A and B are shown apart, each in its own frame.
Chain A
Amino acid sequence: MADSSKSKIPIHVSNKKALVWNPEDASTLRSKYRVTGTLIGTLPSISQQNVFLGLPLLLMPEEVVLLVGNGVAVLLDDSTSHRTSTAPELREWHARRIKSAHAQIALPNDASSSSSPEALRKRAEREAMRAARQSALAEMTKRRGMLQVRSPAPVVLDSLPPYTVHIPSTSDGLSWYNPAEYDTLSAASAAGIWTYPSTYEERARCAVFRALSEKGYYMGGGIRFGGDWLVYPGDPLRYHSHFVATVYPKPTSSLRPIDIVALGRLGTATKKAHLLCGWDEENDSVDFYSIEWAGFG
Chain B
Amino acid sequence: MEGHPCVRDPLLELCIAHHVSYKYNDLQTVCARYPKHAQSLFQTYNDMIYVQQWVDVNVVEIAELSRAIVTGRKAADEPMRIVVPCSLSENLSIKWLNDVFQNCSPIPNEIWIGIVGDDSSMVYYKLSKGIVKPPM
Contacts and interface: CB of A to CB of B under 8 A. Distances in A.
Interface of A: 215, 231, 242-243, 248, 250-258, 260-261, 264, 267-268, 271-273, 275-276, 278, 287-294, 296-297
Contact of A260 (B52, B113, B131): B113
Interface stretch (B13-21, B60-68, B84-92): B84-92
A260 B125 contact: yes
Contacts of B22: none
A292 B134 contact: yes
Interface string B96-136: 11100000000000001111000000111111111111111
Given A258-B88, A260-B113, A297 B123 contact: yes
A278 B98 CA distance: 10
Contact of A251 (B87, B91, B95, B114): B95
A261 to B, nearest CB: 6
A285 to B, nearest CB: 11
A263 B133 CA distance: 15
Nearest to A292: B126
Interface of B: 47, 51-52, 74, 86-88, 90-98, 112-115, 122-136
Contact of B112 (A231, A255, A275, A294): A294
B114 A288 contact: no
B94 A273 contact: no
Contacts of A261: 115, 123, 125
Contacts of A231: 131
Given A268-B134, A292-B132, 19 more contacts: A251-B93, A252-B94, A254-B91, A255-B97, A260-B127, A261-B125, A272-B134, A273-B134, A287-B98, A288-B129, A288-B130, A289-B128, A290-B132, A291-B127, A292-B126, A292-B134, A296-B124, A297-B52, A297-B123
The 4 closest A-B CB pairs, nearest first, are A278-B94, A294-B124, A251-B95, A297-B124
A271 B94 contact: no
Contact of B94 (A264, A289, A296): A289
B91 A260 contact: no
A271 B133 CA distance: 10
Given A251-B98, A257-B88, A278-B94, A215 B113 contact: no
A125 to B, nearest CB: 50
26 contacts: A231-B131, A242-B133, A254-B91, A255-B91, A255-B96, A264-B125, A267-B134, A268-B134, A271-B134, A273-B132, A273-B134, A278-B94, A287-B97, A288-B129, A288-B130, A289-B94, A289-B97, A289-B127, A289-B130, A290-B134, A291-B126, A293-B126, A294-B124, A294-B126, A296-B52, A297-B47
Contacts of B133: 242, 273, 290
A287 B94 CA distance: 8
Contact of B125 (A252, A253, A294): A294
